[in-house]
Amino acid sequence: MQDLSNSNIIHVKDKNIEYIQFKKLLKYKEVKHAITLKPYDFYGIANYDKNKEEVNKNYKNLCMSIGVCKEKIIRAKQTHTDNIEIVSKNNIGIFPKSLDDVDGLITNEKELALSLVFADCIPLIFYDPVKKVISNVHSGWKGTCKKIGTKATRMMIKEFNCEAKDILCFVGPSIGKCHFEVDEDVYKTFKESFKDLDNFENMVSKKIDAEGKQKYYIDTVKINRCMLENIGLLPENIIESNICTVCNHNYTHSFRYDKENSGRMTSVVSLV
């Protein structure tokens, strides 16, 4: 397997576990994090309903590798909403009822391991090193249109007195503009959601396909970046993995490429 490391991330290979980490976030020793890769986690963590034993084993291996507590995993049941919950030790577990239909988690409590899963959707990890607050967010195209990333940021500001200028955002592997091809209906949804966003049309490319149909290619990572910068995050504090899940489908899960056979990458972040 190739090494996906680049200027912003490192690719870690630990026995049968492989994941990426952000170089800048690794500088903060009070935070542990990882986003798993395909060879390690083909179904192993995502497929909880069908194989709890395997999931628990793989969570244990991952948590041991990055130095977080497996017994304090908090995992929401994601449904492409903009629902975000501030979590505590009362929410510990995989799919607790309190976290049904939730796509964003925030905490300032130590040792809790916030976990979400992805396959083309954008993993957003937030950290405020001043107030010591973390957030894990699942932002697919629906979540992006609902502006879940900016909603999580505003919650950090409102509930924990964070300042936007202090917040770091780490953008994990996701489908790139090169492969996020949509039809008119989805394009119109984006256009309506971001009608007030400067240069929205510059984030969209248009192409006529072989059947003569108009197709649109949308840069959801850039849209998220612009939204976050507009609410005060510093450009240099938004760090992208620069990995397209479709381009790298041999190493990252992609629902667009693998269809119903797709597994999921797992993002974990914890204060220690």
Q: Which of 122, 121, 125, 112 is nearest to 24 (CA)?
A: 125
Banded pLDDT at 55 (limits 50, 70, 90): confident
Banded pLDDT at 42 (limits 50, 70, 90): very low
Banded pLDDT at 260 (limits 50, 70, 90): confident
Report how far apart, in Å, the C-alpha atoms of 243 and of each of 65, 78, 112, 202, 270 are.
22, 22, 27, 21, 23
CA distance 100 to 98: 6
Report percent pLDDT > 70 for the chain: 95
State yes or no: pLDDT of 101 exceeds 50.
yes
State yes or no: pLDDT of 253 exceeds 50.
yes
Which residues of the chain form CATH 3.60.140.10? 9-175+221-271
Buried b (16+ CB within 10 A) or exposed e, 116-152: bbbbbbbbbbbbbeeebbbbbbbbbbbbbbbbbbbbb
Banded pLDDT at 90 (limits 50, 70, 90): very high
What superfamily does domain 9-175+221-271 belong to in CATH? CNF1/YfiH-like putative cysteine hydrolases (3.60.140.10)
Tokens of 136: 């894990």
